[in-house]
Every structure is written in C-alpha cells, then in structure tokens.
C-alpha cells in the first residue's frame, strides 16, 4: 500500500454567531489559545464547543472521517451500480500507477458521497452538542441574551498551508438544525503510488487506505472548573458506584448525575488512571516539574482497602505522611488532574482544555503555570485556557518575548522554554460584543483593555482616599 502523507497539525478556524452568550466570534486555534474576559461572556461555552467538535470529528485532522464511517464504505461499494465499476477501476489504476498524489477527487463517486454524508450527519452532530452541554435540545444554545435573532451558526474550517481541506457548517433555530459540509477535492489521501499490478488492488485496498488515517487519532481532554470537587469526592463516588449490584466496571459513570460530558469524562479517566500510559518522556517530566515548583509535593496513587477503587493522596515535600485532598490546600485538588493527565493520559498531538487554571493559586504560582503551558506546547500538546489572571497573561507575554529574542539570536543563555508570537492566540470576550483578538505587543504584552480600566479606577480611587487622609493628618498637626 502507498504511504500516507505525513501532515503537520492543521489550521483550525471556528466561527460562531448567536451562540449562547456570544454574539459573534472568529477564532483560530493556536498551539496555545487563551480566552479572557468578563464572566458570563461565553469563554466556557466556546471551550466546550471546541471539545464537542473535536470529539465529533475525532480530532481536527486532515482526514475527518471516523473509523465507523470508513467501515460503511464496503456496504456502499457492494451495492454500487454497474456503471460505477469503471470509476472504481480508474481509481485503483490511479492509485497503482500515478506519480501524483492520490486525492479525494480520485475516489469513486460512491465513496465520496458516502463520506460527505457522514460528515453532515446532523443527528450525530446534535447528539454530541447535547451531551457536552447537558441540554435536551441544540436550540437551547441559540443566543439567550435577548437578541431578536433566533438563528445560531457554527462554522468549522480545517486547512493546511493556506489550502482548504474540509469544512462543516451548522445552522440552528428553534425549529431544528441543518448541517452542511464540503471536502476539497485536492485533499491528499496518500502521496505515493502503490506497488504491484492492478490485479492485486481492489476496493478493500481503498478502504484500508482510508482506514489507516484513523490509527492515531488525536484526542481532546477537558479539565472543567469543577475538577476540585470531583477530585475531593472521587473515592466516595467511585466506591458507591462500583458497589452497586451488577456493576463490574467504571465505564458506566455516565449514569451518575453530572452536569456535563466533561465531568463524566474526567471521572472516567481518573478511574482508569495508569502510570506511564502516555507515549512521551517529556510529559511526565513536565508533571514532575509542576509538582516540584507549584505543588511542592507529590500526587500519590494507591488502591483503597477494597482494591477496586483508586485512592489519590498528596504528600508534601519532606513529609512522612500523605494527606487526603480534603486535608490539603485547595490548589492540590485543582492541579492534581493536570498532573495525573500529564503522567498517564495525554500524548503529543492531543488537545488539553483547562478552565481557570489559576484557581486557588498564589500569583507566583500562576506565573509558573504559564511556564507549564509553554512546556506543553514545546512537547506538541495543543493547549486551550480560559482565565481571569493578569499574572498568567503577563508571564505568557514574557515567554513570547523570550521566544522572539531567541529568534534574533540575542539570548544570553538558551531559555528552558519559550513561546513565539505565532504560537499564541488570545481572545477577549465582552458582554454583547463580538469576541476580539488581543494582538501581542512587545511592550504591553497581552493585556485586555478592561484590565487597564480596572487598574486605573483603583489607582484614582486610592489617590483620592489617600489625599483625604493626608489632609486630615495635616489638620490634626495644625491644631
């Protein structure tokens, strides 16, 4: 069989209109994407949407079709009409003899139609959105801020080197949802011709070629703002669930009443946790650095007395005894899922989405967390963060400056980690206004304008109050 084109991560562009609290947003995912702004402006909504889309299309790869969709092709081609046999023969001949890349447009029409139909399956799309948002109907996502418009639009576009690969659009109103999709005919499926005679190739070879794209699907993982409560109560919840009659597996955590798919997935992942499941030596190193620099201790994993439930503990540096999360600082339970995921879940190429990672962290530790994210980018993990932390943004700005200085060759020493301007995208969410990208400035860094307004208001108020106090002291001295 020919070799698959070895592609770099694709460019992902997401556009929404009238989506939840978001009036309009045009987002381009970068290696590090940061959502910042006021509360209730849609940061979590958009993060959840990205997670849902990633799961729906099994990653934002050049080839968007699932394993199941490819498996259905055999039935499609078996039932194909006689006049399609010529198309199949021409496709196989092209695959065998052509020195040019084998493209989507070279597939038989029946295959193309089937793959296109699977892309725009509105039931599968809607089902994924409803699970991730915990809703009964997708129409509940239509903007709820009093806007007269009752139509929502979601548009996902995947490209590579400025060439469109595939796209999906969803239009939703109170009456229902419709999905449209398109695949660029120039989408390269393989870059080399197959060896051997035409007689050795058949329809199964086309199916195998398409299926081979799905062997290493990148995954998305979401650490919700509720992660601390999940970690603090995990042992009790898992134990009560497993001890139910006729329960022999933790795979049915979805039956527990949680508010979102992300919480269920987090619970499931930590219940299946196994040290060293990842494929990279860098990620456990990043986890260890996070423990040493921020947690100042270690997350330990043992088995409860029953042996069926994992037990997570925190051992402070130089401590003789490990502590339950409820007896440790809140930051321990906040960061424990990140440590565990880096040790045994996440792999290079995956996407990590984390809400408000700065929760319960001292400003110094927030800056160290920014360094963790830069290390993840260097390790090949795509990171998406929602935050209110000015300290986090300032450190990300410094890491970009470090990378830009390194590009100029003017670093006094080689930095341990860095970011470049092109690797970071920051978007500013505001009430009843379109989401706006915050451009990096070598002087200002990444700073939302309303942060300046808050700082200026605090400063002016402080100066006024200080002046009143000074005047009062002067009057007292004169008396």
Question: Does 396 fall in a domain?
Answer: yes
Whether residue 141 contacts residue 20, with contact meaning beta carbons closer than 8 Å, is answered with yes
Question: Does 479 fall in a domain?
Answer: no
463 sits in which H/E element: helix 449-478
Among 63, 168, 165, 65, residue whose Cα is nearest residue 126: 168
pLDDT at 392: 97
Do 312 and 428 lie in one domain? The reply is no
Do 364 and 430 lie in one domain? The reply is yes
Mean pLDDT of 221-242: 86
Among 278, 319, 281, 282, residue whose Cα is nearest residue 298: 319
pLDDT at 13: 96
CATH number at residue 396: 3.40.50
Question: Does 457 fall in a domain?
Answer: no
* Local confidence band at 102 (pLDDT 50, 70, 90 cut-offs): confident
Mean pLDDT of 222-238: 90
Do 29 and 45 lie in one domain? The reply is yes
For residue 310, the enclosing domain spans 226-346
Residue recorded with tokens 């890491």: 399
Do 118 and 196 lie in one domain? The reply is yes
Average per-residue pLDDT for the chain:
83
pLDDT at 280: 73
User: Facing residues of 14 across strands?
Assistant: 27, 156
Question: Does 455 fall in a domain?
Answer: no
Measured distance CA(2)–CA(353) in Å, rounded: 35
Do 7 and 81 lie in one domain? The reply is yes
Do 339 and 374 lie in one domain? The reply is no
User: Facing residues of 102 across strands?
Assistant: 190
Question: Does 470 fall in a domain?
Answer: no
Residue recorded with tokens 């110094």: 364
Do 282 and 196 lie in one domain? The reply is no
Do 65 and 170 lie in one domain? The reply is yes
Q: At 361, phi and psi to the nearest 5?
A: -110, 140
Total-model pTM: 0.88
pLDDT at 337: 96
CA distances from 337 to 189, 261, 273 (A): 37, 16, 10
- Say how many domains are in the chain: 2
Do 337 and 238 lie in one domain? The reply is yes
Among 228, 48, 222, residue whose Cα is nearest residue 138: 48
Work out the widest C-alpha separation in the chain, in whole angstroms. 110
């Amino acid at each position: 069989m020919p070799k698959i084109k070895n592609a770099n991560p694709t460019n992902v562009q997401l556009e929404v209109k009238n989506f939840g609290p978001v009036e309009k947003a045009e987002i381009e995912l970068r290696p590090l994407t940061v959502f910042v702004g006021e509360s209730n402006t849609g940061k979590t909504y958009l993060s959840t949407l990205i997670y849902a889309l990633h799961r729906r299309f099994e990653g934002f790869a050049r080839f968007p079709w699932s394993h199941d969709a490819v498996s259905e092709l055999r039935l499609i081609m078996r039932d194909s009409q006689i006049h399609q046999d010529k198309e199949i023969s021409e496709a196989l001949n092209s695959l065998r003899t052509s020195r040019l890349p084998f493209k989507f447009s070279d597939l038989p029409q029946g295959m193309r139609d089937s793959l296109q139909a699977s892309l725009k399956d509105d039931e599968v799309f809607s089902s994924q959105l409803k699970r991730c948002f915990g809703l009964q109907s997708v129409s509940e996502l239509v903007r709820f801020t009093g806007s007269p418009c009752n139509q929502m639009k979601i548009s996902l576009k995947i490209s590579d080197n400025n060439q469109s690969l595939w796209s999906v659009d969803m239009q939703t109103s109170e009456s229902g949802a419709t999905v449209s999709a398109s695949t660029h005919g120039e989408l390269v499926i393989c870059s080399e011709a197959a060896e051997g005679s035409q007689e050795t190739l058949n329809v199964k070879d086309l199916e195998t070629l398409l299926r081979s794209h799905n062997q290493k699907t990148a995954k998305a993982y979401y650490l919700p703002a509720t992660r601390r409560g999940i970690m603090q109560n995990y042992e009790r919840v898992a134990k009560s669930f497993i001890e139910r009659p006729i329960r022999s597996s933790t795979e049915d955590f979805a039956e527990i009443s949680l508010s979102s798919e992300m919480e269920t997935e987090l619970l499931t992942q930590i219940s299946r946790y196994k040290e060293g499941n990842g494929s990279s030596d860098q990620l456990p190193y990043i986890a260890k650095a996070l423990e040493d620099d921020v947690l100042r201790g270690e997350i330990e994993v043992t088995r409860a007395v029953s042996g069926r439930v994992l037990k997570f503990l925190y051992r402070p540096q130089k401590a003789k005894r490990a502590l339950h999360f409820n007896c440790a600082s809140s930051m321990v339970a906040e960061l424990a899922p990140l440590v565990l995921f880096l040790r045994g879940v996440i792999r290079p190429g995956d996407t990590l989405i984390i809400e408000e990672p700065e929760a319960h962290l001292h400003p110094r530790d927030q800056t160290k967390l920014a360094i963790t994210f830069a290390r993840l980018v260097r390790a090949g993990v795509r990171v998406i963060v929602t935050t209110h932390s000015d300290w986090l943004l300032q450190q990300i700005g410094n890491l970009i400056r470090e990378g830009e200085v390194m590009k100029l060759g003017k670093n006094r020493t080689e930095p341990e980690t860095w970011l470049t301007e092109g690797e970071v995208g920051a978007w500013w969410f505001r009430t009843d206004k379109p989401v706006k990208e915050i451009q990096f400035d070598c002087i200002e860094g990444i700073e939302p304008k309303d942060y300046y307004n808050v700082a200026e208001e605090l400063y002016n108020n402080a100066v006024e109050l200080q002046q009143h106090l000074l005047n009062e002291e002067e009057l007292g001295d004169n008396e």
